[in-house]
Structure 1
Amino acid sequence: MELIEEQYWQILELLPKQRESVKIENLTALSALVYICRSGCSWRAPLKKFGKRHTIYVRFSRQTKSGV
């Protein structure tokens, strides 16, 4: 399961403003998080189409610490 653009636009205002120099768009990062949670895989096993796992983890960590 991945987020589709209509779902993303519904929650966009709840997310922090995306940095200008990002390597992974918010939609892709959120889709990766949904995939990890739904599949039960570890942080080391997300699909390559989502980008680098470290980048996804750092994004998740920052948003969690900021209360998102």
Structure 2
Amino acid sequence: MKLTPAQFARVRDCLPRQRDRVSLDNLQVLNAMLYVAENGCQWRAPPSASATGRRSTRA
């Protein structure tokens, strides 16, 4: 599940205001939380588009 900007606009006022210089906006953070809730952080279900574009490997 991924929120669109139009869907996010409906809940924007319920979230804390962003301060200073941050690398992620609230929409990205909320989408990441929804991803974890949906997938349960399974190792074989990495997000299709990560912030860095790189995938981590197991040590």
TM-score tier (shorter): 0.5 to 0.7
Partner of 1:31: 31
Deviation, structure 1 residue 26: 0.7
* TM-score (norm. length: structure 2): 0.68
Unaligned runs of 5+ in 2: 53-59
User: Per the alignment, do residues 15 and 2 of structure 1 end up closer, same or farther by CA in structure 2, a change over 3 Å counting?
Assistant: same
Bigger share in helix: 1
**Counterpart secondary structure, 2:22:** coil
Q: CA RMSD in A?
A: 2.2
| Identity among equivalent pairs (%) | 34
Partner of 1:12: 12
- Which protein is bigger by CA-based radius of gyration? 2
- 1:3–1:31 CA contact under 8 A, matched in 2: yes
- May I ask how many residue pairs the two structures share in their alignment? 50
**Counterpart secondary structure, 1:13:** helix
Unaligned runs of 5+ in 1: 53-68
**Distance of 2:8 and 2:33 partners within structure 1:** 13
* TM-score (norm. length: structure 1): 0.60
